[in-house]
Amino acid sequence: MPTYDYECSACGHTFEKFQSITAPAVKKCPACGKCKVRRLIGMGAGIIFKGSGFYQTDYRSDSYRKSAQADSSSTSTASGSSTSESTTKPASGDTTKSKPKKAKD
pLDDT in tens, the chain (105 residues): 788 899 999 999 999 998 888 999 999 999 999 999 999 887 666 666 666 666 655 666 677 778 888 888 877 665 555 444 555 555 665 566 677 777 776
**CA distances, 39 to each of 11, 42, 84, 93 (Å):** 15, 9, 68, 80
C-alpha to C-alpha distance for 77 and 63, rounded to whole angstroms: 22
CB 39, CB 25: distance < 8 Å = yes
At 52 the pLDDT is 65
C-alpha to C-alpha distance for 5 and 23, rounded to whole angstroms: 14
* CA-CA-CA-CA torsion sign (35, 41, 43, 44): positive
